Amino acid sequence: MTAPASGLWQRLANDRWVVGCGALLAALTVLALVGPALSPYSLETPDWRAMALPPTTQDAHWFGTDRLGRDLWLRTWHGTRISLLIGLLATAVSMLIGVTWGAIAGYVGGRVDALMMRFVDVLYSLPYVFFVIVLTVLFGRNLILIFLAIGAVGWLTMARIVRGQTLALRRRPFIEAAIAMGVPTWRIVARHVVPNVAGPVIVYATLTIPQMILFESFLSFLGLGVQEPLASLGNLIAAGAAEMEIAPWMLIVPAGVLVLLLGCCNFVGDGLRDALDPGSNR
Amino acid sequence: MTLLDIRALRVSYAVPSGTVHAVDGVDFALAAGECVGVVGESGSGKTQLFLAALGLLDATASASGSVRLGDTELLGAPRSLLETVRGRRIAFVFQDPMTALTPQLTIGQQLSEVLRVHRALGEDAARARSLQLLERVHIGDAVQRLRQYPHELSGGLRQRVTVALALACEPQVLVADEPTTALDVTVQAGVLELLREVKRERRLAIVLITHDFGVAAQLCDRIAVMYAGRIVESAATEELYARPRHPYTRALLRAVPRLDTPVDEPLVNIRGAPPAPGETPTACAFAPRCARADARCVSERPELMGTEQRVACHHPFTEPLATALARRS
């Protein structure tokens, strides 16, 4: 954002908890990227000798296998990769649209504001599951469509949050001072308003990532999201939930990864918020 | 030569019960290099007057009259024009330095922003100029300060930074709105000294908005006293102090405690309260609180009369304040 990167990193590095969570998040990401390559098995081919095998160090089935004999280590990290990708991309899209939309509506105000926010209200009132079903029926199932569908829903709340913050900011003396110094409007929005909403935006974005991942898994559960044989944490958990009484690891492994992932996102976001706001010393 | 010429300026707000006039027909002229104090209590319209001049009023306010800077009419001017005046030809220093700087930007970033917007300076040139400006307002360790955020600076330093910001583009007029009110007395003195220096060296016209006669007296050549949205008296500083003519000015000056006032003597106050906004008296607004008011004062509003010492009163005082005080005791 605006704080020079060096100062930001320094403040982040002072918080051990955040550093720990960041490291764990990085480790999960690395595993999601290289984990599948460490396994001798493939995503789709079943191991006929080992169906519904609990986690074991033998045969390199570290997380066990599912009921079709597919390796869960491989599928879990592959699913993490897709879930992370969807979560990050959808959040980035929703941040970009939401922050721009909300900041403009809140800062300009008046009729423009009313119009822009009514548009948000209309989108809000669309039953989005139905919306997504219609989209998939019309355009077929693919990942890009899922990004679009999730992103289209995600930015609405972001826009509302940013608009509310901007409305409050507009009355702050430093914004008035910037106006009185003749700083042009677009520059005030970009340099004085947006950095000031960074705190809430980042906090909300950290909530959006898990929300997006959960939304994706919900879609997958309905059969509208990521399709087998591709794995996402969502459809792994859905499959695991069906087997949890006889093969709990099928649920515990992907669910554990999801919990770690979401927990780390939250703590890192919290740390980022503190670091981005130099005035708030806890 | 008149630099800033405000004529018949009115600022009004539409409220459910009618129209409130925050500024009610003010004429105000500022010459190049002159320092004028605008003194009045809260709600007298002193800040509104200058916000209106730069088009900084709230969207719910409406302003009428005329504000000319040189040959440029500012009232009702398009925003593109106003943006070239704000900060470049007329700069503001605000009351509270703790909140007037954007917390997420370093001092250096804020200074160079103004320079880049108005002067189209490159990054290096803006930085060099920012350093100069900080040294100009006597901030030590300028190189280090440029990298710091507002919260790392004390109130006095921040106010110096806002002065540096205001001076960045060498404006013709500096409007300082209660620049010392939020500061400790010792720091106040430093900021006042700085303004005095700036005024002397740059031949900069300064408008000092304050409720503190003491602050105004230290800096200003001329003082205009505002009451209920109007200027009631305007005179050279010494003259105003020696011979306040309007009963309100006189009462205000007597209300200021002095070092030679006996400790046990109660402070003088002005009976009654200023008129509630919205009451737009056709009478003298001060009449209900004035000992000299008569029938004429409640039926006819006095206009600002005179040439050197201008006063809006039907029954102005003529004798010096000291004589009146001496006679009383």
Q: Which of A176, A182, A278 lies at the smallest CB-CB distance from B88?
A: A182
Measured in whole angstroms, how far is the alpha carbon of residue B214 from the centre of its chain? Answer: 14
In whole angstroms, how far apart are CA A34 and each of A28, A130, B20?
Answer: 10, 36, 70
Do A69 and A54 meet the contact criterion of CB atoms below 8 Å apart?
no
Q: Is A68 exposed, middle or buried (0-12, 13-18, 19+ CB in 10 A)?
A: middle
Q: What mean pLDDT do residues A228-236 have?
A: 78
Straight-line distance from the first to the last Cα atom of chain B, in angstroms, rounded to the nearest whole number: 44
Residue A264 structural domain? 5-276
Q: Scanning every residue of chain A, which has its alpha carbon at the shortest distance from the alpha carbon of B51?
A: A180
Rg (CA), chain A: 22
Q: What is the CATH number for A202? A: 1.10.3720.10
Nearest to B31, CA basis, from B215, B218, B171, B207: B207
Residues 6+ apart with CB under 8 A from B95: B177, B178, B179, B181, B182
What would the pLDDT profile of A11-37 be if each residue is shown by its tens digit? 777 778 888 888 888 888 888 888 777
CA distance A150 to A110: 30
What would the pLDDT profile of A32-67 be if each residue is shown by its tens digit? 888 777 777 777 777 677 676 677 777 766 777 777
Rg (CA), chain B: 21
Q: What's the whole-model pTM score?
A: 0.74
Burial A120-151, CB ≥16 within 10 A → b, else e? beeeeeeebeeebeebbeeeeeebebbbbbbb
Q: Which of B94, B102, B162 lies at the smallest CB-CB distance from A192?
A: B102
pLDDT on residue B96 = 83
Do A193 and A166 meet the contact criterion of CB atoms below 8 Å apart?
yes
Contact B94 A4 (CB under 8 A): no
Do B59 and A110 meet the contact criterion of CB atoms below 8 Å apart?
yes
- Work out whether the CA dihedral A219, A224, A225, A230 comes out positive or negative: positive
Q: Residue written as tokens 């491989």?
A: A74
User: What token pair was written down for B69?
Assistant: 């800077």
CA distance B244 to B254: 10
In whole angstroms, how far apart are CA B190 and each of A69, B135, B143, B156, B165?
Answer: 80, 15, 21, 8, 17
Contact B94 A176 (CB under 8 A): yes
Do A164 and B67 meet the contact criterion of CB atoms below 8 Å apart?
no
Do B172 and B87 meet the contact criterion of CB atoms below 8 Å apart?
no
Q: Scanning every residue of chain A, which has its alpha carbon at the shortest distance from the alpha carbon of B102?
A: A174
pLDDT in tens, chain B (329 residues): 788 999 999 998 888 888 888 888 899 999 988 999 999 888 888 888 998 888 888 878 888 999 999 888 988 888 888 888 888 899 988 888 888 898 888 999 999 999 988 888 888 899 999 998 998 888 888 889 999 999 899 888 898 899 899 988 888 999 998 888 878 888 888 888 888 888 888 778 999 999 888 888 888 999 999 998 899 999 999 999 889 999 999 888 888 777 777 777 777 778 777 777 666 667 888 888 888 888 888 888 888 888 778 899 988 888 888 787 777 66
Indicate whether A281 belongs to any domain.
no
Indicate whether A190 belongs to any domain.
yes
Do B183 and B159 meet the contact criterion of CB atoms below 8 Å apart?
yes
Number of domains in chain A: 1
Contact A279 B84 (CB under 8 A): no
User: For residue B11, what are the β-bridge partners?
Assistant: B23, B63
Residues 6+ apart with CB under 8 A from B186: none
Q: Residue written as tokens 């355009």?
A: A139
Q: State phi, psi for A181 to the nearest 5 degrees.
A: -85, 0
What would the pLDDT profile of A183-230 be if each residue is shown by its tens digit? 888 888 888 888 888 878 877 887 788 778 777 777 777 777 777 777
Nearest to B171, CA basis, from B202, B196, B127: B202
Indicate whether A282 belongs to any domain.
no
Rounded to two decimals, the ipTM of the complex is 0.82
Q: Which of A177, A183, A196 lies at the smallest CB-CB distance from B117?
A: A183
**Which of B79, B84, B102 should one mutate to test binding to chain A, selecting the residue with the greatest count of A CBs within 10 A?**
B102
Contact B105 A198 (CB under 8 A): no
